[in-house]
Chains A and B, each alone.
Chain A
Amino acid sequence: MDGMSSPALQQFIEQEKQRAVMNEMVSKLTDACWDKCITSAPGSKFSSSESSCLTNCAQRYMDMSLIIMKRFQSMN
């Protein structure tokens, strides 16, 4: 019996792939939005404007990706 091609393993790998993609997305956005939103030395608590900036930043990035994708699709 070849355990390495078992459905359970395939499913596991698929799951980990997805996790990796999401992980990368979060870390990339945190990186970019940190630079945009946290302009002073980090305090002991985020101000409400800092945390809403982070939320907005992440969501607008997604909106932007969509626009860019559409823009490219309408080329050619």
Chain B
Amino acid sequence: MDFSSPSSGSSSSASQPSPEVFMDQLKSQLAQAYAEEFLETVRGKCFTKCITKPGTSMSGSESSCVSRCVDRYIEATGIVSRALFSQQR
């Protein structure tokens, strides 16, 4: 993560981002980091599930398996999160 704030000296407060700007930046960097990690996980899972015997090219069934796998992994994330945070009614 890049907290490239003006570390050079304790100069004017004009070079310091306002809290609002800082929060926005942090938010979007976090969102990006979460997304990247999620993507990496999905790549790993779907590769294991769908590309079981890598051939000389991607077959149609492999690529449709990958699409379904991505959808299901997103769905699974929702199911797990609901199971954790809205359990026991």
Contact = CB atoms under 8 A, between A and B. Distances in A.
B84 A58 contact: yes
A6 B26 contact: no
Contacts of A55: 79-80, 82-83
Interface residues of B, number: 34
A44 B68 contact: yes
Contacts, number: 91
Given A29-B84, A42-B68, A3 B76 contact: no
Contacts of B81: 26, 30
Interface of A: 1, 3-4, 6, 8-9, 12, 16, 19-20, 22-23, 25-27, 29-31, 33-34, 38, 41-44, 46, 51, 54-59, 62
5 contacts: A4-B22, A26-B81, A29-B80, A42-B49, A59-B83
